[in-house]
């Protein structure tokens, strides 16, 4: 074991190459890391830039991410650092299933594009996980994500408010530069949770004001999936935080209390017909968010039935990635859209092997989230810049909930969070230092 630039380096027994032992240091980012980290931070700033999109849905955000991957590869080659490759088992299995199903299906071109997107986002997560080697690097990315998202939310709220004032009761849901309201909602919700996890800005009053800005932006998108995901993420973060401070019995008690409160609110909403009243509201913000509850539920139910029928009529290898909408159009289904459910979509399009891959990905995420959720799992320098790590796990819970009502496997913001969680999970506690991951 040797020390290079303040980092502990261990000799890999099989590859003979040097690997970082990921012991966090409060030291500043080294000159070798600075360029690649800067490009990665620019890609984080550009996450909302999904319009205009070109062939294969290639966006300005993808251009920045591609530049970050290239910079990360050059950085790894110049520093002789082996890139971390988190989630390779799950994504590799899904990509293999997608290629097999695509070659056997009717749309191999769409399948190839989807598999390339799988590998592209895996590479993005790998670059983030590898670059954030020190607490200083983690701090930089957390600040960049938080403050860039605040700027985007401010522009979004200002522009949407102006449009809403002009349109009045006819105002519709806003998708901003995402081109999709649900994607915009997920971005603002995850950014809010990252802000809380980082404790930035340090002033509670300012942080509460910025949090309100994120919540207003989410309401303007009208994304019920993002709103419900946020509530679940906050509940999970609260329970994990209580477990960290008070122990497992207290966490179970608070979880039971939250579950009881959620059931009570649901019962009150149903008995009071609040959703129907919101649907008839003259306030476009209420009507386009809560008021869409019944319509959204019925549409999702119809789409689930159609997708489930496709799965029952398909073979075990699947029909090929991104084929659900085309299949429904071919069968003249009454609601021909993509599955809006990652689990059903994976079963239909990538077959049993794809479902196994998705399950493996969730397991890989859960293993890393377990190490991130407690302050005791982090060393002191990292905890100083990540005050509430349980909220990163809360973000993961939010993405998981979102995956049951939307397809999030190719969402750039979600994979940025996955990469951040993988980086933090590589931290060693004092008793674990020297133990390989």
Print the SS3 string covering 191-235.
HHHHHHHHCCCCCHHHHHHHHHHHHHHHHHHCCHHHHHHHHHHHH
In b/e form, how buried is each residue of 282-292, taking b as 16+ CB within 10 angstroms?
A: eebbbbbbbbb
76-85: string of b/e by CB count within 10 Å (b at 16+)?
A: beebebeebb
User: Nearest CA to 318 among 76, 103, 5?
Assistant: 103
- Angle in degrees, CA 279, 280, 283, rounded to 5: 90
The answer to whether the beta carbons of residues 420 and 393 sit under 8 Å apart is no
Q: Give the separation between CA 102 and CA 56, rounded to whole angstroms.
A: 16
371 closest CA partner among 315, 425, 312, 437: 425
pLDDT score recorded for residue 179: 82
Residue 3's φ and ψ, nearest 5 degrees, are -120, 130
Phi, psi (degrees; rounded to nearest 5) at 187: -60, -45
> Is 355:314 a contact under the CB 8 Å cutoff?
no
pTM of the model: 0.88
Across the 437 residues of the chain, what is the mean pLDDT of every consecutive 10-residue run? Answer: 40 37 54 91 97 88 97 93 92 96 91 95 96 92 97 94 69 78 95 96 94 94 91 94 88 91 80 68 68 68 77 84 85 76 92 96 95 82 90 96 92 97 74 39
Of 434, 399, 403, 405, nearest to 420 by C-alpha is 399
Residue located via tokens 């133990």: 435
Q: Domains of the chain: which residue ranges?
A: 2-425
Q: What is the number of alpha carbons within 13 Å of residue 287 lying toward its C-beta?
A: 12
Taking the CA of residue 37 as centre, how many other CA atoms within 13 Å lie in the half-sphere pointing to its CB?
Answer: 24
Residues recorded for the chain: 437
What distance in Å separates the CA atoms of residue 247 and residue 16, rounded to the nearest whole number? 42
Nearest to 386 by CA among 207, 136, 188: 136
In this prediction, residue 356 carries a pLDDT of 97
pLDDT at 383: 85
Closest C-alpha among 146, 129, 131 to residue 199: 146
- Pairwise CA distance, residues 379 & 45, whole Å: 27
User: What SS3 state is found at 11?
Assistant: strand
pLDDT at 2: 41
Query: CA 8 to CA 4: how far, in whole Å?
Result: 7
């Amino acid at each position: 074991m040797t020390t290079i630039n303040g980092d502990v380096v261990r000799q890999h027994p099989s590859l003979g190459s040097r690997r970082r032992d990921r012991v966090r240091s409060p030291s500043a980012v080294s000159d070798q890391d600075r360029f690649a980290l800067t490009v990665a931070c620019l890609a984080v700033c550009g996450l909302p830039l999904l319009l205009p999109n070109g062939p294969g849905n290639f966006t300005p955000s993808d251009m920045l991410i591609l530049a970050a991957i290239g910079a990360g590869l050059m950085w790894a080659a110049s520093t002789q650092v082996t890139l971390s490759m988190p989630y390779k088992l799950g994504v590799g299995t899904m990509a293999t299933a997608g290629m097999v199903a695509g070659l056997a299906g009717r749309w191999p071109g769409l399948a190839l594009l989807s598999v390339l997107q799988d590998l592209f986002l895996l590479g993005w997560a790998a670059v983030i996980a590898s670059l954030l080697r020190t607490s200083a690097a983690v701090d930089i990315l957390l600040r960049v994500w938080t403050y860039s998202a605040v700027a985007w939310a401010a522009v979004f709220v200002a522009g949407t408010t102006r449009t809403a004032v002009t349109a009045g009761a006819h105002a519709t849901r806003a998708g901003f530069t995402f081109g999709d309201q649900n994607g915009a909602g997920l971005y603002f919700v995850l950014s809010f949770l990252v802000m809380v996890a980082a404790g930035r800005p340090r002033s509670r009053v300012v942080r509460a004001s910025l949090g309100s800005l994120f919540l207003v932006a989410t309401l303007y998108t009208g994304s019920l999936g993002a709103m419900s995901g946020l509530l679940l993420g906050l509940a999970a973060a609260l329970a994990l935080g209580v477990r960290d401070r008070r122990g497992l019995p207290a966490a179970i008690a608070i979880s039971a209390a939250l579950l009881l409160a959620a059931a009570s609110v649901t019962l009150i909403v149903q008995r009071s017909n609040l959703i129907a009243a919101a649907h008839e509201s003259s306030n476009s913000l209420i009507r386009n968010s809560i008021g869409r509850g019944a319509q959204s539920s019925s549409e999702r139910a119809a789409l689930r039935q159609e997708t489930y029928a496709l799965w029952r009529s398909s073979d075990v290898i699947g029909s090929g990635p991104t084929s659900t909408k085309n299949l429904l159009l071919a069968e003249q289904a009454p609601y021909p859209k993509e599955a809006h459910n990652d689990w059903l979509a994976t079963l239909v399009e990538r077959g049993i092997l794809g479902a196994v891959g998705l399950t493996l990905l969730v397991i890989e995420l859960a293993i890393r989230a377990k190490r991130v959720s407690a302050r005791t799992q982090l060393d002191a320098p990292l905890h100083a810049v990540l005050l509430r790590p349980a909220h990163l796990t809360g973000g993961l819970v939010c993405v998981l909930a979102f995956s049951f009502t939307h397809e999030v496997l190719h969402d750039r913001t979600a994979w940025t969070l996955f990469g951040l969680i993988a980086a933090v999970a590589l931290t060693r506690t004092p008793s674990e230092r020297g133990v390989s991951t």
